[in-house]
Amino acid sequence: MVRAVLVEDDKLMARTIQHYCREAFGKSLVSLKTFDELTPALYSIKENPIDLLLLDINLKGQSGYEILKLPEKDSFYTIVISSDKQNAVSAFDFGVLDFVAKPFTRERFIAAIDRMKSASASKADSMRKNSISLKKDGMIEVIRFQDILYLEASGNFTEIHLKSGRKELIRKTMESVLAELNSDFFRSHRSFIINLSEVKKILHGKGNHFKVLLGDSAEVALSRSNYNTLKDMLG
């Protein structure tokens, strides 16, 4: 699903871009808000998440680059559409995905949209490989691997302990969760999986009982059978 914003002060050009957008995205285009002035566009983008910004640079004496100074700019793709070709270098300095020079053909515009689709698919694939998803309050929440401190078995469920101190329960066994994780994680005990990047040291207890110190203060069980393996991994 794509949520787009078009900022263009030429009404005829705006209608052309709207038509090409609907053709390129089809039913996946869930919204296409159009603005002919900078201020309402800025407000809308601050208040409502989007996936794509189609931006003209010269807007009734104002610069469209003001939008690209927003902290939100990294959360969406931007395609600049402008007759000022000298702005192309500046546009890419702002990290835009593409610069479409006016006048442009349908094919050139569709090529820019295809580039956005490809970039979005690659980003989604990377996120899937480096995160785990769980259902919460009827929605899907994505938890990045880098935010996980350790995981703990809880019957047929797994409790995820985050670096922030928050805990989340996922409806999966430890075995199924372990299969989704990457090599940054290690099963220290039958009930625990740890993030290796968070290991501070191995703690030696009485009677050959071991624990792993993670982060600032978390202590997680380490089985005797996994002690040497972890020690070798940590060097």
Q: What is the pLDDT along the chain (235 residues), one digit of tens a residue?
A: 899 999 999 999 999 999 999 999 999 999 999 999 999 999 999 899 899 999 998 887 788 888 888 888 888 999 999 988 777 777 888 889 999 999 999 999 999 999 999 988 877 776 677 888 887 777 778 899 999 999 999 989 999 999 999 999 998 899 988 988 988 999 999 999 999 999 999 998 777 789 999 988 899 999 989 998 998 888 7
Phi, psi dihedrals of residue 225, rounded to the nearest 5°: -70, -25
Predicted local distance difference test score (pLDDT) of residue 58: 84
Q: Which residues pair with 19 in a beta bridge?
A: none
- Answer whether 2-129 and 131-234 agree in fold: no
Q: Please tell me whether residue 178 adopts helix, strand or coil conformation.
A: helix
Predicted local distance difference test score (pLDDT) of residue 127: 65
Predicted local distance difference test score (pLDDT) of residue 41: 92
Q: What is the distance of C-alpha 136 from the center of its chain?
A: 18
Burial label for 113, CB within 10 Å (0-12, 13-18, 19+), is buried
Instruction: Please give the Cα distance from 78 to 27 (Å, whole number).
Output: 20
2-129: CATH, from 3.30.1050.10, 3.40.50.970, 3.40.50.460, 3.40.50.2300: 3.40.50.2300
Q: Which residues pair with 151 in a beta bridge?
A: 160, 193
CATH number of 131-234: 2.40.50.1020
Q: Which residues pair with 195 in a beta bridge?
A: 185
Q: At what angle do helices 11-25 and 106-129 cross, to 10 degrees?
A: 50
pTM recorded for the entire structure: 0.60
Predicted local distance difference test score (pLDDT) of residue 157: 92
Place of tokens 């931007």: 78
Q: What DSSP state is assigned to residue 122?
A: H
Q: Where are the domains of the chain?
A: 2-129, 131-234
Instruction: Please give the Cα distance from 124 to 120 (Å, whole number).
Output: 6
